[in-house]
Amino acid sequence: MSRTLTVALALALFSCSGTSSGSDGGAPPRSWLAGSGGTLASSADGTLFHTRAQVTRADLYALVCVGERDGWAAGASGTLLRTEDGGASWAAAPTGVTTALRAVAFGDAAHGLAVGDGGVILRSTDGGASWRPIAAPTHVTLRAVAFSGARGFAWAVGDGGAILRSTDGGASFVAALGAPPINLRAVRFAEDGLRGYVVGDAGAVLRSTDGGASWSLARTAPRALDGLSVTPDGTRIVAVGARGLVWRSTDSGSTFAAGDGATLHDLAAIGFSDDASAIGWAVGAQGTLLRTDDAGAHFHALAAPTTADLTAIEDF
């Protein structure tokens, strides 16, 4: 996969079940996109997306929803935006850093983590009202973060095979074992906090069954992988990557097979609906925006609100 996507325009998608209305035909926006230059867009039906008022000019790399009304967007220059009304309005949150924040996750309404360049890890214990830096055992770029609220486990992954693990709700991190020295780009865990997956360059798919303490190579994909989704029960894994690759398992990672990505563009991220688990979206280069209605077996193209490269999406 072309690594130019890592510096190209970014998009993320999440659902907060907001109560606002607008250009979505009067219906409350449920799905939101964010992108380069502070781009925000929303959809009431997961099919038609409309741009919204700009809040920042910073590139936005990730979005996460916390409950039905609270959401966060992370981006360049230490940017962290928050909504408390389902996306109707957004405001900047102080982070104290100027480095890019590439991922954000919450374990519950109070505990959140944001990670980014230079090994930066920020932690909040007050619902995002304040953030403080956490010492990390690495200085490489961290590209993804996941949080298990039930167990208090958290994980961050990044360049050079970096996999970090926390067992105290993100208060401290140690390096995990078993990752090859390649760039890792996404991490997801099942709801039990024990079974997890990481994907990255060279088509690597890593699997853990002990809460991320150790990792082993699962089934290598034909091409590089950038995006990842894992169902709460851990049975379905869908990853996306170079030249429209969809790499999919429905048996907890025992076997994988290629799905129909419906594009030759690089795909960067994949996410599925909480309300209808067979419905999902994938995004990628040159404004590629795809939808699946059969759990990732097949995709079809949607009209995107931009022609920019789209590089991040949050499961919802």
Task: Give the model's pLDDT for residue 12.
Answer: 61
CA distance 191 to 199: 18
Residues 47 and 41: their CA atoms lie apart, in Å, by: 12
Q: What is the mean pLDDT of residues 160-168?
A: 97
Q: Is the pLDDT of residue 160 over 50?
A: yes
Scanning the structure block, which residue is given the tokens 């998009």?
A: 11
With 50 as the cut, is the pLDDT of residue 8 above it? no
Given the structure tokens 């130019």, which residue do they identify? 4
Amino acid at 307: T
Angle, CA of 100, 118 and 316, to the nearest 5°: 50
- DSSP structure class, residue 69: T
Report pLDDT for 167: 96
Give the Cα separation of 43 and 173 in Å (integer).
Answer: 37
69 class by beta-carbon count within 10 Å (0-12 exposed, 13-18 middle, 19+ buried):
middle
Nearest CA-CA partner of 120 in 98, 148, 94: 98
Q: What is the pTM of this model?
A: 0.90
Per residue in 193-243, pLDDT (tens digit) is 999 999 999 999 999 999 999 999 998 999 999 999 999 999 999 999 999
Q: Say whether pLDDT at 49 is over 90.
A: no
